[in-house]
Structure 1
Amino acid sequence: MKLQPASEMSKVAEENYEKFQQSVLESDEFEALKTGIEQAANEGQKTLLYNLHPTSDQRTLDYLKSVFN
């Protein structure tokens, strides 16, 4: 097995992280979060209590937090 140079592995990791981000933004979880925000805003609320599924991937949750911050 041939080892890839660190620069190549970094590039692959970056490309895969971009794919991961896109998949999160296309997920049902993200759609549900957007819908919850819209409903809360339409009801005049300035905050949203969003219950996450206990088995949610922590990377997904961290990325969603970064999107909304």
Structure 2
Amino acid sequence: MKRIGVLVMAYGSPETLDDVEPYFTHIRGGRRPSPAQVEALRERYRRIGGRSPLGAITQAQAAGLA
């Protein structure tokens, strides 16, 4: 049987609301966002339950490919 490798990637997202500022700084190449930008992003994460579903979705996709 021939084996095939599949690489599953996702850029990521903050795990908690406390992770929003470091995550935002990282994706901006180390430039810190303003407090207003951080709060706006936190509010968007609050509206979807405090964290992105991206990690769980990507893990489920990887499990489905295994």
Instruction: Give TM-score, length-normalised by structure 1.
Output: 0.29
Greater relative contact order (CA < 8 Å, ≥ 6 in sequence): 2
Instruction: Give TM-score, length-normalised by structure 2.
Output: 0.30
